[in-house]
Amino acid sequence: MLCLLYVLLYLTGIKAGSHSLMAFTTYIVGLTPFPEFSAIVMLDDVQIMYYDSVNWRAVHSIQGDSKYYDEEKSDASVIFHDLYKCMKSRTFYLMDTLNYTDGVHVYQRLVGCELLNNDQPGLLYTWEAFNGKMKEEGIFDMEKKEFQMKLPWMKAWDQLRWLRLKLMFENIYHPVCIKILQRYLSLKKNNVMRKVKPKVRFLKKTLTESDRVQITCLATGFYPRHINLTLFRDGQPVEDEVITGGQVLPNGDGTYQMRKSLVISVEELRQGHNYNCTMNYLSLNNKLDIKFDVEESYPGSSTLSIVISVVMLLLLAVLIIITLTKCRKRRAAGSRTSLQSDYSPTTTTAQDAT
């Protein structure tokens, strides 16, 4: 359930180059080892705060300026206490509406704001789910003072309740969110504002069971996470329906990776299609295009190269044997000539004797 709402942060148009502050909150009814209410606050993809109903206080993962600590503690207490009351009320309303009684039930909310790449405050977002199913989402535009929300769970609200909700977002949630976002962005700028270029390459895997080849375009080691990766066949983008992967996944070193894979039949390889992968890294305005060599990946080509290599080695061995044989024969012939010279009879003339 955590993944269901947390992934929404990256599916809703949080823009490349902007920064976000998101609070993921959970309210649980039933016996579990977890707190009744808990909250995790993330600056982009870095956790900066934790809050739960056991201690009823915010725990900061990084130490800010002491002059702001009391103010941050007060702001967090107001927001989290309001979220706790609201989520508790909504949970029991949904349990009653859906006729749930026994067991464990979980209500979750993801709420946060964004700071655009021109340092201007952006929208405030909310997503809500009950028992792992998203049923509600909303957007608050501070500039237009507009609040849009899909409310399939809620009964008809009177004007007074709508006004209270709008005032909470306008005067508490949005300004406090932007203030904390700007403050922690200055503290963690070396981390969340760093830029690391990706490494991109093609991988090939032979699928022996189906006699097919899987080609994969892999981009890895980049930060931040905003990237576009596209597979092309003969200059045209490959349809999403036949591609696997495409999710941005974390590496163990704080960077990210993305891979897109395509399975190609032997017949497709024989047809000589051209495959390439294009990467656009949004944070660096960096574009890279790499080509997949189909001829080297054709299953028959590797076998042929092996056969050729074996033949060449055999020919080389034969040449070496012939050369060595000739050398031995020459040495043997030289030895016989030397022996004949040493032991041949000597003729002495009479003149020499005198």
Tell which residue, 1, 8, 164, has the closest CA to residue 86: 164
In the predicted model, is pLDDT for residue 167 greater than 50? yes
Mean of pLDDT values over 292-305:
48
pTM of the model: 0.63
Asked whether the beta carbons of 221 and 207 are under 8 A apart, the reply is: no
- At 40, which amino acid appears? I
Q: Which domains does the chain have, with CATH numbers?
A: 2-192 (3.30.500.10), 199-299 (2.60.40.10)
Q: pLDDT tens for residues 307-352? A: 455 667 777 777 777 777 777 767 666 655 554 555 444 443 334 4
CA distance 105 to 131: 6
Query: How high is the pLDDT of residue 153?
Result: 67
When mean pLDDT is compared across 125-134, 178-187, 218-227, 330-339, the lowest value belongs to 330-339
The single residue listed with the structure tokens 């999403």 is: 240
Query: How high is the pLDDT of residue 13?
Result: 46
CA distance 251 to 255: 5
Burial of 10 (0-12, 13-18, 19+ CB in 10 A): middle
Q: pLDDT tens for residues 6-65? A: 444 444 445 556 788 999 999 999 999 999 999 999 888 888 888 999 988 888 776 554
When mean pLDDT is compared across 267-271, 291-295, 321-325, the lowest value belongs to 291-295
